[in-house]
Amino acid sequence: DEAIQHQVDIIGLSGLITPSLDEMVHVAQEMKRRQFNIPLLIGGATTSRMHTAVKIAEQYAHGVLHVLDASRSVTVVSELLSQQKASLLQRTREEYIQLRDDFLARQKTKKLLSLAQSRERALQLVFDQNTISNPKQTGLLPLPEISLATLKPYIDWTPFFITWELHGPYPQILQDEKVGEQARNLLNDAMRLLDEVIEQKGLQARAVAGIWPARRKGADDVEVITDQGTQTLHFLRQQSEKAAGQSNYCLSDFIAPDVDDYIGAFAVSIQGIETYIQQYEAQHDDYHKIMIQALADRLAEALAEYLHAQVRTVYWGYATDEALDNAALIREEYRGIRPAPGYPACPDHTEKETLFALLNATEQTGIQLTESLAMYPASSVCGWYFAHPESRYFGLGKINREQLSDYAQRKNMAEETMAKWLSPVLLE
């Protein structure tokens, strides 16, 4: 409606989390239904050229283009508003047809194990007094107020520079022959703004975390025992065929099936950014607007890192002698993992609802879940704590309709609804 009212030349969509991918398909279908004839640009963290070619481009015939990042949209839009438009759209259409054909050909040859076979190849771990650590506290943890000054040493600066299209590990990027001077200038500006925010207490760190008794339930679920009763967490298992001796992982493998074990959860957020955004927008200061957003994201990740360290060394206490510097933390040299719903090991965003219920996260932190289960404020992180010494991150890969059906039944959700949430990992 807005595009029609304002007679726009181009529509752009940006996707932050995987549910946005289906919404983009829907927008393309709507543009076709309403007889649009303007190009559609696709971008954002969860998007890809392949997904655009396979899922979106075939829904709309008047130009669908994936743009890798916002800075490159300038060149693309310039071409679309010039005499080069027809040539660009034709080249892109031919490229996407080839990508789609190649993708579909690979899908036909991709082989997945049955769910039963995958479960037979589950990771077999030892659960005893050496691998199960009794927490010093259970339930919701009594976290003190956390200052931004405390978080400053925990910041991972490498993704900060990627925000500005400067690629390279920190701190080496500061001495890079090509971008070193730009990186140093950016870091100086960021430090000045960060110190100002810390002094003015313009942003606030909000956090909640908990640890509960838990046990594996069936093959792929985990039952969490709270003072109010039990909650079931649902996980998915890898189904790709692997070399002999390799396991097909599921996060439930890291929880004991027949003895008491424990699992944790957390949600953290950096809040107060709206005041800065309004100020910078009023001043037409895009530079500092992007800077404060990038800093808030880095502080949220630093808060997650700091809190995990506190859980390991104090509240759960299974790593009381841990002595890791920030570089070692970034390399994840500690024991345990903190996978987040929506990420490779557990791509189902609907599990955030269970996580938020366990933590009473909205009341505790102010974080809201949107209808697509994104978190607001955007500078927020949530996830689970697994403590087994052999717990590790992994990517789920593709699953088939058999596991989708089993998973939907376990979650008591309609298979069609679950297929929408899991479409990025579902092998059609």
Residue 107: pLDDT above 80?
no
d(CA 173, CA 177) in angstroms, rounded, equals 9
Contacts for 198 with CB less than 8 Å, ≥ 6 apart: 147, 148, 149, 152
- 357 near 305, Cβ under 8 Å? no
Task: State the pLDDT confidence band at 171, using cuts at 50, 70 and 90.
Answer: very high
pLDDT digits (tens, 9 = 90+) for 279-307: 999 999 999 999 999 999 999 999 999 99
Q: Return the residue matching tokens 């050496």.
A: 130
Task: State the pLDDT confidence band at 21, using cuts at 50, 70 and 90.
Answer: confident
Residue 20: pLDDT above 90?
no
N- to C-terminal Cα distance for the chain? 33
Mean pLDDT of 25-45: 94
Look at residues 320, 298, 301, 296 and name the one whose alpha carbon lies nearest to residue 310. 320
- Distances from the Cα of 29 to the Cαs of 33, 122, 138, 233, 303, in angstroms? 6, 41, 49, 35, 40
Look at residues 261, 398, 268, 408 and name the one whose alpha carbon lies nearest to residue 338. 268
Task: State the pLDDT confidence band at 15, using cuts at 50, 70 and 90.
Answer: confident
Look at residues 73, 62, 77, 71 and name the one whose alpha carbon lies nearest to residue 30. 62
- The pLDDT value recorded for residue 386 is 98
Q: Return the residue matching tokens 């859980």.
A: 311
Task: State the pLDDT confidence band at 72, using cuts at 50, 70 and 90.
Answer: confident
DSSP of 130-167: TT----SS-EE--PPP--HHHHGGG---HHHHHHTT--
